[in-house]
Structure 1
Amino acid sequence: RYESFTDTHSSLFLSLFAHEVVFVVACFDNGQTEAQIEFDAQEILYVDFERQEFVYTVPKFVMLDPSKMFVDISDYDDAKRGKRLCSAVVTYCTAAEKNLPEEKDPPESILYPAEDVQLGVENKLICFVNHFYPPSINVSWTKNGDPVSEGVSLSRYFPNSDGTFHQFSTLTFTPSEGDVYSCTVEHSALETPKTSIWEPEFRRQSHGPDVCCAVGLTLGLLGVAAGTFLICIV
């Protein structure tokens, strides 16, 4: 079970433009709590409760030090207060809904390589899972039908504007001819697991034009040699 509550600041002005900053606290009935701050619907940081600090997710090319820009709203005490409220929020919502089954949205998934595929060159396969609710999925990988765990990573949950979530799972691999990879997603809204399959395709270099040019050049040289021989005889 998952519940969330937000604190919205729509009157924040940065660079003479109005922006919306939303502080989101997600509460799970297993005791887990997640908190993050969104800037114009994009996550800029999340709270690491174990290390008791903010982790900024703003790319460096956007700003070198986001902590200076968001110093006024990055208050860890707010996150701790939100975490303490989680238990009460989940208990209240459960009682209010009288344990009715919550709405569920099944995930969509797509499997693709991070870079152009080259034979024998290390790459990453990305399994992008999107539009699912509640935010709890299981992702597993196989190579040629065998389970794979080495080189696998799973991102955190990221919220969508419609209340659903998306998440990434990646597999580091070195492509070889004939290999077949699969990504399987399990979710409570799916009757059966959903599997996406991917096979590497390599661009084969054609030597046809090169061969034709070489043959043409050889015939041309032979023609020149034959002409020279005939001139000498005359």
Structure 2
Amino acid sequence: MKTCSPDMKLTALVILMINSYCAFSQIPHEVLYVIGCFEAGETQVQFEFDAEEILYVDFDREEVVYTVPRFIVDDVSKIFDNLNVFKNAKKAKNACQPILEVYKLEERSPPEETDPPENVLYPADDVQLGVENSLVCFVNHFYPPHIKVTWTRNGQQVLEGVSLSRYYPNNDQTFHQFSTLTFTPREGDIYSCTVEHLALDRPQTRIWEPNFSPHSVGLDVYCGVGLTVGLLGVAAGTFLMVKGYYGQF
């Protein structure tokens, strides 16, 4: 767990709007509207309900992404119809950099704190010769939230079938992210996942070779990672906390 001290540099600004109200019962609930502004220029906007993410704004695709399972709420977008979520998020994004510039002028502290990532590489399903599968490169505990992930097969870079999730916050103010590679296992193939990050002296590479034994350990590894980090559930909790002098809002 990280702690904030006066000599740590401000790297993000968090604006919180907290409302308590009763929904479907007499129990008060907490709604957080979170705006995270990062020095690298990225902005994150999301709503949380009782510390669980219910939506976030994808500025690249210019849309609001609802993360509430449909078995809980059939169409959560109707709840936010009159709130102009995307329009207000764009206003917040435009305000981020000017606000950060003001804080940077007021600061007199060392360079930003960084945390190097840890990554593991494993197949999503039991490995069978010639049967399509996915390799998962799970990158965890890094800050700031900017990584580059590259894949190779037999020493040659692979671009097709590669995907990268958005990053998710951990409770210790670091982040985790998933990159996947769709592939068809063949004997003799060797795959690698390489992660580059500001806090690493050199790229971090993990290597994987297909194992065609009857019982693959891939699923066991997957479950182990799931128990350790709660997978995407780790996103619960306060999002995009300030790592610096302004650590409490």
TM-score in terms of structure 2 length: 0.72
**1:87 aligned to 77, 93, 97, which one?**
97
Show CA shifts across 1:147-193 (max 9, x none).
11111111112222221111111111001122211111111111122
| Residues 1:188 and 2:198 are matched in the alignment | yes
Flag the structure with more relative contact order, 1 or 2, with Cα contacts below 8 A and sequence separation at least 6. Answer: 2
State the match for 2:222 in structure 1: none
State the match for 2:141 in structure 1: 131
Pick closer, same or farther for the CA change 1:133–1:30 going to 2, 3 Å: closer
Pick closer, same or farther for the CA change 1:72–1:5 going to 2, 3 Å: farther
State the match for 2:165 in structure 1: 155
Contact 2:11/2:112, CA 8 A, preserved across alignment: no
State the match for 1:23 in structure 2: 33
Point out the more displaced range, 14-23 or 105-114. 14-23
Letter in 2 for 1:146: Q
Q: Map 1:100-111 onto structure 2 (within 5 A).
A: 100-111=110-121
**1:178 aligned to 184, 188, 202, which one?**
188
**2:20 aligned to 11, 27, 49, which one?**
11
**2:52 aligned to 38, 42, 47, which one?**
42
Q: Distance in 2 between matches of 1:85 and 1:176?
A: 51
State the match for 2:74 in structure 1: 64
Q: Which runs of 5+ in 2 are unaligned?
A: 1-9, 216-249
Match of 2:121, SS state, is strand
Q: Give the number of the structure whose alpha-carbon radius of gyration is greater.
A: 1
What is the CA-CA distance between 1:46 and the residue it aligns to? Answer: 1.5
Pick closer, same or farther for the CA change 1:55–1:117 going to 2, 3 Å: same
Q: Distance in 2 between matches of 1:19 and 1:113?
A: 39
Show CA shifts across 1:109-158 (max 9, x none).
11111222111111111111111110111111111222111111111122
Contact 1:105/1:133, CA 8 A, preserved across alignment: yes
Q: Distance in 1 between matches of 2:202 and 2:61?
A: 37
Pick closer, same or farther for the CA change 1:199–1:12 going to 2, 3 Å: farther
What is the CA-CA distance between 1:71 and the residue it aligns to? Answer: 5.1
Show CA shifts across 1:194-220 (max 9, x none).
111212212349xxxxxxxxxxxxxxx
Match of 1:93, SS state, is helix
Letter in 2 for 1:28: F
State the match for 1:33 in structure 2: 43
Alignment root-mean-square deviation, CA: 2.5
Contact 1:184/1:193, CA 8 A, preserved across alignment: yes
Pick closer, same or farther for the CA change 1:41–1:182 going to 2, 3 Å: farther
Q: Distance in 2 between matches of 1:204 and 1:80?
A: 52
Q: Distance in 2 between matches of 1:143 and 1:52?
A: 34
Q: Distance in 2 between matches of 1:132 and 1:58?
A: 26
Q: Which is helix-richer, 1 or 2? A: 1
What is the CA-CA distance between 1:28 and the residue it aligns to? Answer: 3.4
